[in-house]
């Protein structure tokens, strides 16, 4: 059975996020065609209580909201693990990780474990301070022993706070995760990288890849902006866990990495020392210092992947896994670009969006439809909007300039 999952999000309790209601999430999931969604922040006491109050378990580890029989939730949060990479290093490095839990009982057990580690769980995304890679490994093993069935995987691998990100000068997973590196079967590509880029890193070639939105909002261009299609034996938590860790990943739908906020190396305009001009490295060797402000540059994902691919010298025996992935832009953004508008929530955009969903069932199935059928079903749309949707469906788009130093890339749809 094929299901579309988006298993990394944040609630209104993660810093700088407005109120997010489960009804709004479930409503958006229906339009988008996301079957299973990660609740975000499920260890936060207030959000955990809300989830318990509003959701009912309808299959093992799958929770639903009354009135939305198709929208399933899995208990999920993100944690930031920090550790010094070596006894000599003075600064701690932090790595974001996504956790999926089989039931509420497991969330209670892990919350108690966090108490023992002295973690203040008040911001949605708990910070776990650990001494060393060995301590990181012990912590993760403790979680798995205490709450069997829990699944943890490195989040947005290539962003600055991802395991391979520019803030983390590791060459191999074990330099941060210690022995637990051997247990890691799955890694999240994140908005800034795609499978093609990650497969340039030898260690990644034997890992499964998952794509999630990491969204902080229930908006149509946030939920499912990246998602994963799974082939599951059973549509429940253990079926999902098995698919993710074994051979059930059917395809991932991803941002074009050039869109991500950290694709290229540089300094954005508006940064200290950059009141008038930005600096973005197009090609060639990375200079030691920014030629404008003289400080160290924010190294982009593309350059970081090249560094890792050159520096990993260990032999990895396993063959490259079969990958199927597609670059994607949220449909509301495609429609608004087709209309020449900036806003993705204008009346016209939303009414055309509804037409697309009526004709195709939902957004996930729209992107999977064969091109002639899609053109046929959407023939009543304005020409410019239809042309944009078909171009994106065929992958004919890019981001120019690409994202860098915290700024998203600028969309260019290429029409015939």
Report d(CA 155, CA 253) in Å as an integer. Answer: 16
Q: Is 304 in the site for Zn ion (CB under 5 A)?
A: no
Question: Can you read off the two tokens belonging to residue 415?
Answer: 């029409």
Stretch of 175-183, 293-301, 305-313, 338-346 lying at the interface with Zn ion (CB under 5 A): 293-301
What lies within 8 Å, CB to CB, of 271 at 6+ separation is 293, 405
Angstrom distance (rounded) from CA 102 to CA 107: 8
> How far is it, in rounded angstroms, from Cα 80 to Cα 94?
6
Dist CA 265 CA 220 (whole Å):
30
| CB closer to Zn ion, 176 vs 397 | 176
Residue matched to tokens 């994607």: 328
Query: CA of 5: how far to CAs of 9, 53, 309, 345, in Å?
Result: 11, 23, 30, 24
State in angstroms the smallest separation of the CB of 290 from Zn ion: 3
Q: What is the DSSP letter of 298?
A: B
Minimal distance, residue 414 CB to Zn ion, in Å: 31
Q: Which is nearer to Zn ion, 262 or 353 (CB)?
A: 262
Please answer whether residues 7 and 74 qualify as being in contact, where contact means their C-beta atoms are separated by less than 8 angstroms: yes
Q: How far is the CB of 10 from Zn ion (least distance, A)?
A: 8
The residue range among 197-205, 217-225, 292-300, 345-353 that interacts with Zn ion, by the rule CB under 5 A, is: 292-300
Nearer CB in complex with Zn ion: 64/274: 274
Contact flag: residue 10 with Zn ion (CB under 5 A): no
For Zn ion, the closer of residues 25 and 95 by Cβ is 95
Nearer Cβ to Zn ion (127/172)? 127
CB 272 to Zn ion: min, Å: 8
Residue ranges of E strands in 193-282: 208-210, 227-231, 249-254, 266-267, 279-280
In the complex, least distance from residue 183 CB atom to Zn ion, rounded to whole angstroms? 20
329 vs 389: CA distance, rounded Å = 10
Cα–Cα dist 255/301, whole Å: 14
Distance CA 398, CA 389 (A): 14
Closest contact distance (angstroms) between CB of 316 and Zn ion is: 26
- Tell me how far, at minimum, the Cβ of 355 lies from Zn ion, in Å: 35
User: Measured from the CB of residue 339, what is the shortest distance to Zn ion in angstroms?
Assistant: 33
Q: How far is the CB of 78 from Zn ion (least distance, A)?
A: 5
Task: Specify the residue, 163 or 230, whose C-beta has the smaller distance to Zn ion.
Answer: 163
Residues 111-170 close enough to bind Zn ion by CB under 5 A:
155
Interface stretch with Zn ion, choices 178-186, 290-298, 306-314, 342-350 (CB under 5 A)? 290-298
CB nearer Zn ion, residue 208 or residue 213: 213
CB contact at 8 A, 243 and 231:
yes
DSSP per-residue codes, 322-350: P--EEE---HHHHHHHHTT-S-SS-HHHH
Ranked by CB distance to Zn ion, the top (closest) residue is: 290
Q: Could you tell me how many residues of this chain bind Zn ion (CB under 5 A)?
A: 6
Q: Give whichever of 279 and 397 is closer to Zn ion, judged by the CB atom.
A: 279
With binding defined as CB under 5 A, does residue 292 bind Zn ion? yes
Asked if 321 touches Zn ion (CB under 5 A), the answer is no
- 152 beta partners: 99
Is residue 280 involved in binding Zn ion (CB under 5 A)? no
Q: How far apart are the C-alpha atoms of 350 and 353, rounded to whole Å? A: 5
CB 17 within 8 A of CB 217: yes
Q: Footprint of Zn ion on residues 87-106 (CB under 5 A)?
A: 96
Which residues, 257 to 276, sit near Zn ion by CB under 5 A? 267
For residue 40, the minimal CB distance to Zn ion (Å) is 11
Contacting residue, 134, 135, 293, 375, with Zn ion by CB under 5 A = 293
Q: Is 8 in the site for Zn ion (CB under 5 A)?
A: no
Q: Is 210 in contact with 244 (CB distance < 8 Å)?
A: yes
Cβ nearer to Zn ion, comparing 297 with 389: 297
CB 202 within 8 A of CB 265: no
CB nearer Zn ion, residue 298 or residue 388: 298
Identify which range of 21-29, 51-59, 241-249, 284-292 contacts Zn ion by CB under 5 A. 284-292
Instruction: Give the 3-state secondary structure of residue 313.
Output: coil
Judged by CB under 5 A, which of 290, 302, 360, 389 binds Zn ion? Answer: 290
Q: Which residues bind Zn ion (CB under 5 A)?
A: 96, 155, 267, 290, 292-293
């Amino acid at each position: 059975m094929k299901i579309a999952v988006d298993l990394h999000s944040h609630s209104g309790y993660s810093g700088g996020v407005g109120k997010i209601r489960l009804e709004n999430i479930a409503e958006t999931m229906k339009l988008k065609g996301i079957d299973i969604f990660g609740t975000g922040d499920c260890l936060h006491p207030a959000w955990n209580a809300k989830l318990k109050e509003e959701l009912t378990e309808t299959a093992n580890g799958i929770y639903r909201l009354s009135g939305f029989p198709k929208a399933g939730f899995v208990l999920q949060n993100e944690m930031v693990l920090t550790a010094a990479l070596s006894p000599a290093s003075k600064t701690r490095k932090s790595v974001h990780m996504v956790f999926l839990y089989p039931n509420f009982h497991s969330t209670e057990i892990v919350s108690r474990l966090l108490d023992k580690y002295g973690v203040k769980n008040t911001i949605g995304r708990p910070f776990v301070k650990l001494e060393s890679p060995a301590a990181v490994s012990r912590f993760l093993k403790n979680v798995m022993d205490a709450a069997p069935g829990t699944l943890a995987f490195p989040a947005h691998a290539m962003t600055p706070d991802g395991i391979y990100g520019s803030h983390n000068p590791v060459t191999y997973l074990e330099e941060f995760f210690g022995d637990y590196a051997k247990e890691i079967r799955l890694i999240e590509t994140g908005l800034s990288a795609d499978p093609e880029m990650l497969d340039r890193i030898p260690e990644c070639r034997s890992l499964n890849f998952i794509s999630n939105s990491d969204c902080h909002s229930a908006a149509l261009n946030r939920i499912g902006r990246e998602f994963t299609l799974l082939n599951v034996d059973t549509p429940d938590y253990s079926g999902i866990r098995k698919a993710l860790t074994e051979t059930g990943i059917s395809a991932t739908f991803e941002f074009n990495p050039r869109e991500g906020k950290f694709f290229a190396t540089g300094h954005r305009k508006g940064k200290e020392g950059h009141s008038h001009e930005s600096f973005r490295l197009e090609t060639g060797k990375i200079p030691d210092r920014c030629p404008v402000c003289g400080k160290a540059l924010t190294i982009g994902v593309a350059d970081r992947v090249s560094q890792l691919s050159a520096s990993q010298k260990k032999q990895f025996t396993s063959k490259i896994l079969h990958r199927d992935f597609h670059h994607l832009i949220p449909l509301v953004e495609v429609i608004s670009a087709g209309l020449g508008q900036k806003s993705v929530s204008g009346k016209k955009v939303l009414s055309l969006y509804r037409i697309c969903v009526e004709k195709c069932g939902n957004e996930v199935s729209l992107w999977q439809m064969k091109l002639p059928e899609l053109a046929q079903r959407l023939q009543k749309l304005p020409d410019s909007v239809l042309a944009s949707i078909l171009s994106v469906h065929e992958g004919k788009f890019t981001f120019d300039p690409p994202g860098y130093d915290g700024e998203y890339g600028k969309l260019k749809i290429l029409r015939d």
